[in-house]
Amino acid sequence: MRSLRKIAVLGGGSFGTALANMIAENGYNVVLWMRSHESVLECSSTHENIKYLPGLSLDLKLAFSSDLEASLKDADVVFFSVPSKAFRLLAREARKYISSDARVISTAKGIEAGTFKLMSQVLEEELPQARVGVISGPNLALEIAAKQITATVVASNDPQVSYDIQQLLGSYYFRVYANTDRFGVELAGALKNIYAIAAGISSSMKMGQNTVSVLVTRSLAEMSRFSASLGANPMTFMGLSGVGDLFVTCTSPLSRNYQIGIALGSGLSVDEAVKKVGHVAEGINTTLMIKKEAEKLQIYMPLVNALYETMFNGRPVDEVLKTMMLAEQNIDVEFTGK
């Protein structure tokens, strides 16, 4: 595995930085690419990403660059850790610099607006020569940076890609499990952002633990129902990328989408909530896209519909909750047979 000569992480946000630092600590030659040259200079001089991971001393072996070509030159593994709205453009820019045998891994948990493409599908379109995979799971960057015990899932149609990423990232505090259902793993990572917003709203309104329990379990039912309708394996949602990621984003104040929900529950508008949180929250746009797709495919998604009404039509949360309670009472656990 040490034959991997160079690793590139594209994106200097909290997760990209934590990921690159972990790889450096594992002894690999890794460069963290940032679009801002000023950020590169700051991180190089302080060995700290003050904006996204303040207080964390980054490994001295971690290199920083704003030169995309130099960052990707001879890279055996490339991680794309940028928001979904910037994903395709960056992949297109990177195409001429990425080698034909490179492992290209998405860490983004979102869906492309206008195309309903997942990020691995964007990579396949823009980088047809690459060997594509995704990582997803309950992976809060601040906790990874603090070396708290964490696990993730790597999913790829190429078993060698999954094996290589397991070896590259694995450590005494970070475990990497494999899954062949790349579509399900990636879709779960995008969908849970919707329900994290709903959980934040419920927390802000001081709803009881019974309510939170209902919200999380019915969210899981909606996620798996929607994804299975599109071809994902519903059992994927019983793992780290499904129930694991859903749980952490629906309960942790470190989750951006949860914080958006907190702000919405306090009476702020969507725009005001985004401004207050100050970072990209994928769940807002994902809610718009999933509602549209669910209606087109006639998939029953009462929680998505309720959140949409609250965020974009200004309906009071209490009123929406009452509507939800009048929704159809269906079976508790789907996909279990008769």
Active centre residues (catalytic): 192
Which residue type, as a one-letter code, is found at position 169? L
DSSP per residue over 230-247, as a string?
Answer: TT--GGGGGSIIIIIHHH
CB of 188 closer than 8 Å to CB of 136: yes
Distances, alpha carbon 210 to alpha carbons 24, 213, 216, 302, 309, in Å: 43, 5, 10, 18, 23
Burial of 109: CB neighbours in 10 Å, binned 0-12, 13-18, 19+: buried
Angle at CA 53, nearest 5°, toward 256 and 79?
A: 80
Q: How far apart are CA 277 and CA 272, in angstroms?
A: 9
* CB neighbour class for 251 (10 Å; exposed up to 12, middle 13-18, buried from 19): middle
Contact 282, 257 (CB under 8 A): yes
Phi/psi at 330 (5° precision): -110, -170
Q: Is 14 in contact with 55 (CB distance < 8 Å)? A: no
User: What's the token pair of residue 239?
Assistant: 């793992």
**CB half-sphere exposure, 195, CA atoms < 13 A:** 30
> Residue 332 burial (CB < 10 Å; 0-12/13-18/19+)?
exposed
Picking from 172, 193, 136, 226, the residue whose alpha carbon sits closest to that of residue 26 is 172
DSSP string, 48-97: S-TTTSTTPPPPTT-EEES-HHHHHTT-SEEEE-S-HHHHHHHHHHHGGG
